[in-house]
Amino acid sequence: MNIVVLLLLSVMVVMLYRKHQHAVSYRVDARGRIFDECALLLANTQQRLDKANLPILEGVYSGYKVSLSIVEDTLGWRKVPPLWLLIKVEANLQSTGTLDYIVRPSNNEFYSPSWQWNGNLTIPAGWPQHAILKYQHQAVDLNLIDSFVPKLFANANMKELLVAPNFTRLTYMVKQAERGEYLIMRNAIYENTPIAKNIVETLLKQAIAIRINIENSGTVLKAQAA
């Protein structure tokens, strides 16, 4: 009987090990291909890995330096982990003020700097209300982005709009982990198709439109504007 039990345990260990190796291989393949379609949108593209070995795609779009990166959010134990796409547009002209608007906050948005910020704003009436709106030191004039926010966050996958003097960034959920794999094995496995080009292009256009409106408003830093 003991031999049978040991054999069964050995088989289970081998099966779990093979499953783990398959998951690792699948994850590496998925990460490596995730920006395959997006590279066609940008000029002067470069791809590198961040500290977590996740890909970052950098390039130029409509005259702005941009970067695309992803964040695997496995902190929420009771939810299927989302995969966040971060679209960052670097400033051509540095502006004044900061702003971070996060919808459906769960208090574990580790990718956001605003949890260390000390300023809070009342959310405008036309914006989604289940949210937080914060700033550090000086807030961006809300009139500059008021026309963009309702349309941008009409998409339920939109999570965050972050505005800083030297960049604007959008956070958008592009995928969720496979439910069965996560609930049983606690492995955050995402299907390995690349992020769709049309999704990224739509978000890029919106992020750049916001950046242009801020930079054309006269709130750029005086040293640069002179």
**Taking 80 as the threshold, does the pLDDT of residue 50 lie above it?**
yes
pLDDT of residue 1: 53
The answer to whether the predicted template modeling score (pTM) of the entire model surpasses 0.85 is: no
**Taking 90 as the threshold, does the pLDDT of residue 115 lie above it?**
no
**Taking 80 as the threshold, does the pLDDT of residue 156 lie above it?**
yes
Please compute the mean of the pLDDT values over residues 9-35 and round it to a whole number.
Answer: 56
Percent of the chain residues past pLDDT 70, beyond the cut: 73
Please compute the mean of the pLDDT values over residues 200-214 and round it to a whole number.
Answer: 97
What is the spatial distance between Cα 62 and Cα 222, in angstroms, rounded to a whole number? 24
**Taking 60 as the threshold, does the pLDDT of residue 171 lie above it?**
yes
3 state DSSP class of 131: strand
- On whether the CB atoms of residues 211 and 89 are closer than 8 A, the answer is yes
Please compute the mean of the pLDDT values over residues 141-170 and round it to a whole number.
Answer: 97
For 177-198, what is each residue's pLDDT tens digit? 555 455 444 455 566 788 999 9
pLDDT of residue 193: 84
Instruction: Grade residue 134 by pLDDT with cuts at 50, 70 and 90.
Output: very high
Query: From the CB of residue 145, how many other CB atoms can be counted at a distance below 10 Å?
Result: 21
Query: From the CB of residue 162, how many other CB atoms can be counted at a distance below 10 Å?
Result: 21
**Four-point Cα dihedral 77, 193, 41, 83, nearest 10:** 0
- Higher pLDDT residue, 101 or 79? 101
Please compute the mean of the pLDDT values over residues 32-44 and round it to a whole number.
Answer: 89
pLDDT of residue 44: 95
pLDDT of residue 192: 75
pLDDT of residue 4: 62
- Higher pLDDT residue, 17 or 210? 210
pLDDT of residue 211: 97
Overall size of the chain counted in residues: 226
pLDDT of residue 176: 75
**Four-point Cα dihedral 121, 126, 127, 129, nearest 10:** 80
